[in-house]
Amino acid sequence: MYTAIETENMAMIRASAREFARLEIKPYIMEWDEKQYFPVELFKKMGNYGFMGILVPEEYKGAGLGYQEYITILDEISKVCGSIGLSVAAHNSLCTNHILSFANEAQKQKYLPKLATAEWIGAWGLTETGSGSDAGGLATTAVQEGDFWIINGSKTFITHAISADVFVVMVRTGDKGDKHGVTAFIVEKGTAGFTAGMKIDKLGMRASETASLFFDNCRLHKDQIIGDVGNGFVQALKLLDGGRISIAALSLGIARGAYECALRYANEREQFNQKIYDFQDVSFTIAEMATKIEAAELLVRKAGDLKDRHEKVTKAGAMAKLYASEVAVEVSNQSVQIHGGYGFTKDFPAEKFFRDAKLCTIGEGTSAIQKMVISREIKKDVL
């Protein structure tokens, strides 16, 4: 069982991420949110701190850290801005980690140093208009012509679709529904026949860029395939096990940010000649918020510990993602309520946490999908 003891090194990493978020993110969060501005320059700075190659070994210019450090960094950044936390998660755990986990050495040498230093921003494409939770039903296809593959189709809800420099995309190369009928390709920005659509106008996570991708006879050499032809879906499922830890850590940070702003407000706001924190209804609500955040962190840390020990993390990751994301929604909702009318305004941060939190129950597998994964794993335990 994982015991949550913060080492001296972890404390230093937390302090570094916290200070970066305070100085480089906090002053601009509402401006970025209102304009749906994706601050590429911020991520370049994060590359200098090692925040864009957290799990990448030092030989590829990464930070060479583990999942506990990754969780800590995401927690601190997301506590200030969920949008930035989401983009850090997508870059690290999806695009970069797919190449790190499954690419050949030549591909790693070519792409990982640029991704780990944020010289290049990464994106990952699985979701399509007709296949969200049903990830096996991809309609985007690749047909082989000699040493090349011709791709046609589209992807949607892709983080960094417009600004990214390198993309890992899953494309159907076999029969629909066949788990060995999907292949992962690396696509560079500017490749002929490969374009991005308009930015999607979202409820929350507005500073994390989201758009569609389009393939119109996009011609890729076989050297751009990650692993073997037909292994893309299997790779994606393995990657999502770790990706769920990312979203759980993101959820944890959002919940913590919403809780802390509610706690501050409750100790400042007076009604009936006393601080509203002194009303039992408010103090008990805050006590429940704190307890659920603590429980969520233990689930997230346990999943991270299993991942660092290279043990199976399917059930633990799904549990962490399910619980932490639902806690983020609940806590942010309660934070708005504690703020009263001010919680419904953009003068206080509660409303942004409320808007950002909802994505955590949807992205990288809805809550229903997490329950399906968990129930399948539980069934294996008794058979």
CA 74 – CA 14 distance, rounded (Å): 10
CA 16 – CA 74 distance, rounded (Å): 12
CA 378 – CA 322 distance, rounded (Å): 15
**Alpha-carbon distances of 110 from 99, 164, 169, 220, rounded to whole Å:** 10, 16, 17, 16
Q: Are 231 and 184 in contact (CB under 8 A)?
A: yes
Q: Are 153 and 215 in contact (CB under 8 A)?
A: yes
Q: Is 268 a catalytic residue?
A: no
Number of residues that make up the chain: 383
Structure tokens at 47: 């590359």
Q: How many CB atoms lie within 10 A of CB 308?
A: 17
**Which of 119, 351, 364, 377 is the catalytic position?**
364
CA 234 – CA 229 distance, rounded (Å): 11
Residues paired with residue 159 on neighbouring β-strands, in sequence order: 210
CA 111 – CA 114 distance, rounded (Å): 6
- Written as one letter, the residue type at 289 is M
Structure tokens at 339: 């703020």
Per-residue DSSP letter, 174:
S
Q: Which residues are catalytic?
A: 364
